[in-house]
Structure 1
């Protein structure tokens, strides 16, 4: 299928052939009829991509701060690879569309194949022929509402959430600053609520459009027309609410809001404009400044958006899905009219040229729609299903691997292509002789296409079963989120593949039992878990310098894991396990390798905390009486090294400082040189 993508490093726009996404449980596969270009948000992203690296950094200081933190923890080379990997990848565009349900995932009972739905989300309602959309990010389209109008659902929900934040009441007067797509919809929603609207925008055509759709008056904010209209409509008191729907670097909208708002009025920020609040003006009027977060409650909450957990209506009346459905209802009943906002409808095959025309200013538009194959130019009902070509994937019967000659390369498939796979594993394998990267499998179409482009995979797909059934594939790498490791490993073993699975192998005893049962059933025990630290060159050299032990040892391992960003999938303890469950195996394995034995007993305790259980202290005892204490902490200083280790025995001490420097103190002292390039934690030697 085709999808609109952009390379954020080069600015390149492309209509890319990507694999068809799979239909996962808890959502639906939707064939697009119309998708809407957000002429504000998307064009800002397109413009940023065309900037120099310095310009990108200036436009996103929040991302620069993250990069600097990563440098402190991981070093410059590793951070550089990670950042360049992200920048030099295709990213999706789009977040508002209407389409026909192609396939229904398990657990979905409110729509069926053939139903028309409006979809939301910058990861799910993309400019692509097919999208997988989770339950809370789609809503059925009411009868009689044209698909091209239903494609406005997401931006309509954004405007509606902004209006809700303003708490308008009948008879009030509101000022809308910025009459682009969101501003026009805000003005219409306010008018439908019995509020008189004054609009401010330097574009006369947009002012005229807003007046034609119900605004009481509109004008250039630099002129006196807006101030005069506000004075006349409010008796000189000022407006009850101001909605900031403008973008750009000017502080004029914020200053105009303070000047024209009444005492104790409300200012709602919907767009992304400069917000240097003039303190005196806002203080003297005691203005209430509010922010409107996207489509409504549920936005950025993975449990709501991805897992389909709705908020009880008695506690949260208007969620993002209910806002979406409400806007569609208003449009279907004619209370909101989006047809006059449509400046241009482009065929999907012309997507790249359409973006260029918008960016260069050749196409002046409030709203632009992409029409997908199979849509008639003037349709008003449910679109006829087009034929979408699904890329062929080589299939074979499940079972053992093919007979391979001694000189034939090992054919490798990757399941998952996230940050770790693309920054730590694939760069090593892509340049290794005797390895052929056969197929990459991901749940999202674009990540598979990116991995294929960057690392030279022969095939990219979202169909795992087809890969496991391909006899030409020798080995499967499982590099996905923790909760899927055990099941994917089990399937790959039963298919007769050699398997590398990134830690952890399993999250529960039952999951581990399933893997062991697969080994027993298939007779295939070619399984490696990704414990790479025992392969780190610096640690191996230090162990050699320490020499053989004659007495018991004491080992202390401090892991300064640090806090995670809000929303990180690592914090989804119910589904992904605690942080120590996911990462702690690294440190148990490293300690056991250094002590040349497996532990015979364990004691662990933890402190309360929100980061997957807080700090964890683990004491391991070994057959010869040696002990290892692992302190896994999330409450330490960000600037302190992540991993420090001390091994004490026989009058000697081995010290490892975060894979940058190591030393051995004893009868003879050895100190490594500081590594000139990067921390090598053993991935290359492990592979």
Structure 2
């Protein structure tokens, strides 16, 4: 299928061929009929991409702060790779469309194949021929509503949420500053609510349009027309509400709002304009400043948007989805008319040219629609497609036979940030390795990985990869909740598997992986516990030498707080943060101590923010792991001390290591960046695949580390140590 994308680093716009997204449970696959260009939000994003790096930095100081923090935590080279990877990737455009349901995922019962739906979301309602949309981000069209009008559903919801924040009442007077697409819709919604509206915009054409759609008066913000209309309609008291629907760097809208508001009036920010509030003006009138968060309650909540968990209507009357359905109903009943806002309808194939015309001012528009080749203006349903799973025809033995001279052919399931910044760069240029296929559920991430790393193919069909006998090994680099199931499927298909941690999020999942090993006879499995392969740590262990007595190990992990919206916070589906990451540190401790733990005890501060974990080993050794999120961001992430036999090994965040013994040994500071072992780990894995030799880490150790990681939660729940049965 085709999708509109942009490279944020170069500013390049393109219509790209990408794989069709899979139809996951909890959502529907929609074939787009019309998608809307938001001439404000989208064109601002397109404009930013065309800036120099300095210009980008000035426009996004929040991102610059994150980069500075990352440099302090992860080092300059690792941060550079991460930032460059994110910038030099294709990103999608679009967030408002109408289309036809082509497939229905499991758990969806409110729409059927062939239904017309309006869809929302800058990750799901993209300028693409097909989109997978979760259930809380679509709404079925009322009878009689034209699909091209329904494509306005998302921006209509944004305007509606702003009006709701204003708490308008019959007979009030409102001022709308900025008469672009959102402003025009706000004018109509307020008018439909019985509010008299005054519009302000420097563009006389937009002023005329707003007047034709119900505004009582419109004019340039600096003209006497607006102030005179406010005085006439309010008896000189000032407007009850001001809606800031303007963009740009001028502070004029905020100052105008203060001047024309009544005492204790309300100012609602919907757009993205400068907000240097003049303190005296706002204080003297005691103005109520409010913000409107996008489409409504549910926005930026993964549990609502991705998992389909609705808010009870008795507590949250108007959610994202209810706003979307309400706006569609208003259009269907004629209370809101979007037809006059449509300045241009372009063929989807001409998307790049259309953006260019908008950018250089040749095309002046309030709203522009893309019309798709198989548009459904008359409600035609696209023919549904059904994927037939491929059943593996054979089982491989634990050590598959292959020519050592032949290149190792790899498939990646998942191509997120970790895969593209920490794994694929080490594999793309490695001799004797062929990146065969990348599998993702979102089409664009597969296309980005294929373009940047040279994969031979990209798809959303996992079964076709598992059934391909030419694939030697499969990398599972997806979200945590899918690791065990994908690993099980790949093992049953006879593939050698590299799965990023964690291997499993529960005992049942771990048992399922082991059952697949038993059923298939295939134990060719590696989990991405890379720290034991770090060169600096391996050298330090060698310098420490053998030990005769039990050891004490202390491992401090200054994990830091997660950013708002991180999928790591989705504990209901993705497990706890420690379940996802803790295996790294347990594996490192066990490797240094040369054994697997026999018991786990865990305690936590209030809210489980900071964990203290004690691991006991067969020879009496102990490892104390402190996994904390409340530490200083500038402090190193990982520090480790191993004490035994009158010797001390110290690791300082993979930058420096030292051993205190009869002779002191200190590593040289790494000249480039922290090396946490990914390259050496991958080299060992590829060697095992090529030669059929033993896997880099024994399966028993992988299972023991996973079981110990899971035991942390059990210990927290029971308040007592958990004894481990040992490797199975």
TM-score by length of 2: 0.92
- Counterpart of 2:37 in structure 1 is 37
In 2, the alpha carbon distance for the partners of 1:50 and 1:388 equals: 39
How far apart are 1:388 and its partner, in Å?
10
- Counterpart of 1:265 in structure 2 is 265
In 2, the alpha carbon distance for the partners of 1:46 and 1:62 equals: 19
SS of equivalent residue, structure 1 residue 163: helix
- Counterpart of 1:598 in structure 2 is 596
SS of equivalent residue, structure 1 residue 66: helix
In 2, the alpha carbon distance for the partners of 1:487 and 1:415 equals: 12
Gap regions ≥5 residues in structure 2: 683-728
Mapped pair 1:185 → 2:180: no
How far does the alpha carbon of each residue in 1:338-373 deviate from its partner, in whole angstroms, 9 at most, with x for none?
Answer: 000000000000011000000110000000000001
- Counterpart of 1:83 in structure 2 is 83
In 2, the alpha carbon distance for the partners of 1:590 and 1:152 equals: 53
In 1, the alpha carbon distance for the partners of 2:297 and 2:234 equals: 32
SS of equivalent residue, structure 2 residue 606: coil
In 1, the alpha carbon distance for the partners of 2:385 and 2:405 equals: 37
Question: Is the alpha carbon distance of 1:203 and 1:388 closer, same or farther for their aligned partners in structure 2, counting shifts above 3 Å?
Answer: farther
1:398 and 1:471 in contact (8 A); partners too? no
In 2, the alpha carbon distance for the partners of 1:52 and 1:394 equals: 47
Matches within 5 A, 1:268-307: 268-307=268-307
- Counterpart of 1:561 in structure 2 is 559
After the TM superposition, list the runs of 4 or more consecutive aligned residues in structure 1 that deviate by more than 4 angstroms: 385-390, 392-398, 400-403
How far apart are 1:626 and its partner, in Å?
1.4
Instruction: Give the alignment partner of residue 534 of structure 1, picking from 521, 528, 532.
Output: 532
In 2, the alpha carbon distance for the partners of 1:202 and 1:599 equals: 71
1:8 and 1:91 in contact (8 A); partners too? yes
- Counterpart of 1:621 in structure 2 is 616
Instruction: Give the alignment partner of residue 636 of structure 2, picking from 638, 641, 645.
Output: 641
How far does the alpha carbon of each residue in 1:394-423 deviate from its partner, in whole angstroms, 9 at most, with x for none?
Answer: 978543469632211111000111111111
How far apart are 1:459 and its partner, in Å?
0.6
- Counterpart of 2:314 in structure 1 is 314
- Counterpart of 1:570 in structure 2 is 568
- Counterpart of 1:680 in structure 2 is 675
- Counterpart of 2:25 in structure 1 is 25
How far does the alpha carbon of each residue in 1:559-606 deviate from its partner, in whole angstroms, 9 at most, with x for none?
Answer: 111111122111112211111111111111111111111122222222
How far apart are 1:387 and its partner, in Å?
7.4
In 2, the alpha carbon distance for the partners of 1:457 and 1:88 equals: 17
Question: Is the alpha carbon distance of 1:51 and 1:396 closer, same or farther for their aligned partners in structure 2, counting shifts above 3 Å?
Answer: farther
2:101 and 2:381 in contact (8 A); partners too? no
Mapped pair 1:664 → 2:659: yes
SS of equivalent residue, structure 1 residue 20: coil
Deviates more, 1:561-570 or 1:655-664: 561-570
In 2, the alpha carbon distance for the partners of 1:393 and 1:16 equals: 26
Matches within 5 A, 1:456-605: 456-605=454-603
In 2, the alpha carbon distance for the partners of 1:367 and 1:673 equals: 60
In 2, the alpha carbon distance for the partners of 1:642 and 1:205 equals: 57
* Equivalent pairs, count: 679
2:114 and 2:382 in contact (8 A); partners too? no
2:115 and 2:381 in contact (8 A); partners too? no
Matches within 5 A, 1:348-427: 348-375=348-375, 379=377, 381-382=378-379, 384-385=380-381, 397-400=392-395, 404-427=402-425
How far does the alpha carbon of each residue in 1:452-471 deviate from its partner, in whole angstroms, 9 at most, with x for none?
Answer: 00000001111111111111
SS of equivalent residue, structure 2 residue 673: coil
Question: Is the alpha carbon distance of 1:65 and 1:472 closer, same or farther for their aligned partners in structure 2, counting shifts above 3 Å?
Answer: same
How far apart are 1:197 and its partner, in Å?
0.5
- Counterpart of 2:145 in structure 1 is 145
In 2, the alpha carbon distance for the partners of 1:389 and 1:523 equals: 35
Question: Is the alpha carbon distance of 1:389 and 1:576 closer, same or farther for their aligned partners in structure 2, counting shifts above 3 Å?
Answer: closer
How far does the alpha carbon of each residue in 1:228-250 deviate from its partner, in whole angstroms, 9 at most, with x for none?
Answer: 11111111111000000000000
1:393 and 1:461 in contact (8 A); partners too? no
How far does the alpha carbon of each residue in 1:8-44 deviate from its partner, in whole angstroms, 9 at most, with x for none?
Answer: 0000000000000010000000000000000000000
TM-score by length of 1: 0.97
2:207 and 2:218 in contact (8 A); partners too? yes
How far apart are 1:673 and its partner, in Å?
1.2
Gap regions ≥5 residues in structure 1: none
In 1, the alpha carbon distance for the partners of 2:401 and 2:56 equals: 51
In 1, the alpha carbon distance for the partners of 2:458 and 2:276 equals: 47
SS of equivalent residue, structure 1 residue 123: coil
Question: Is the alpha carbon distance of 1:388 and 1:623 closer, same or farther for their aligned partners in structure 2, counting shifts above 3 Å?
Answer: closer
How far does the alpha carbon of each residue in 1:297-340 deviate from its partner, in whole angstroms, 9 at most, with x for none?
Answer: 00000000000011111100000100000000000000000000
2:32 and 2:375 in contact (8 A); partners too? no
